[in-house]
């Protein structure tokens, strides 16, 4: 194991500030897990920040007391609600609704494209017929996919 330089090691107070947790919480986790200090500074134990971060991430609700487990799940629920509020998470229904709107716009675009090309008189008549067939086929395929997405969403929705 490589020897850590004093700058790599931090006190529990500084680690709590950097990891954004309470000092008492961090101290309790260190004591519960029996994490040994990696060094000492002015008579106080110092720890590797990486080791403390790992200890925080490895909290298993099954090994917590009932009150700690309740607090843990409550904090997780609040974290998810905050992320939703900050648009960090997009609800599945909102995502699917946005995709449906995009597909509907694509279908309308494909349906209107032959008329726009015909008005501009860009393509010869034989190419225009082929172009119209292909865009109609693409619009029908998009419509079929859209119907599949709607059907799948309807099947997932509780009744």
Residue range 87-126, pLDDT digits in tens: 666 777 787 788 888 888 887 877 777 777 777 666 777 7
Please give the C-alpha separations between residue 8 and each of 40, 50, 87, in angstroms, as whole numbers.
12, 9, 35
Quote the percentage of the chain above a pLDDT of 90. Answer: 6
Q: Where are the alpha helices (DSSP H) in the chain?
A: 12-19, 23-33, 49-57, 66-85, 92-120, 125-156
The whole-model pTM stands at: 0.37
Question: Which pLDDT does position 3 carry in this prediction?
Answer: 55
Phi/psi at 58 (5° precision):
-95, 25
Question: Which pLDDT does position 31 carry in this prediction?
Answer: 87
Quote the DSSP letter at residue 62. G
Q: Where are the alpha helices (DSSP H) in 43-91?
A: 49-57, 66-85
Phi/psi at 2 (5° precision):
-80, 145
Bigger pLDDT: 92 or 75? 75
121 CB-contact burial (10 Å; exposed 0-12 / middle 13-18 / buried 19+):
exposed
Question: Which pLDDT does position 159 carry in this prediction?
Answer: 52
Question: Which pLDDT does position 1 carry in this prediction?
Answer: 45
Q: Do residues 15 and 47 touch, judged by C-beta distance below 8 A?
A: yes
Given a cut of 60, is residue 6 above it in pLDDT?
A: no
Average pLDDT over residues 133-154: 81
Average pLDDT in the chain: 80
Given a cut of 50, is residue 141 above it in pLDDT?
A: yes
Question: Which pLDDT does position 4 carry in this prediction?
Answer: 54
Quote the percentage of the chain above a pLDDT of 70. Answer: 87
Average pLDDT over residues 14-22: 88
Average pLDDT over residues 128-141: 82
Pick the CATH number of 1-58 from 3.40.50, 1.10.4160, 1.10.20, 1.10.1660: 1.10.1660
Domain coordinates of the chain in residue numbers?
1-58, 60-89, 92-156
């Amino acid at each position: 194991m490589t020897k850590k330089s004093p700058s790599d090691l931090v006190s529990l107070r500084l680690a709590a500030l950097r990891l954004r947790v309470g000092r008492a919480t961090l101290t309790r986790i260190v004591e519960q897990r029996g994490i040994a200090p990696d060094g000492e500074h002015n008579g106080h134990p110092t720890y590797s920040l990486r080791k403390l971060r790992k200890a925080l991430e490895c909290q298993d609700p099954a090994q917590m007391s009932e009150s700690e487990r309740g607090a843990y799940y409550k904090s997780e629920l609040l974290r998810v609600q905050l992320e939703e509020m900050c648009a960090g998470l997009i609800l599945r229904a909102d995502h699917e609704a946005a995709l449906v709107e995009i597909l509907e716009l694509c279908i309308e675009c494909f349906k209107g494209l032959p008329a726009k090309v015909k008005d501009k008189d860009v393509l010869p008549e034989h190419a225009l017929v082929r172009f119209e067939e292909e865009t109609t086929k693409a619009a029908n395929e998009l419509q079929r996919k859209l119907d599949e997405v709607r059907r799948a969403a309807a099947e997932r929705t509780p009744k």
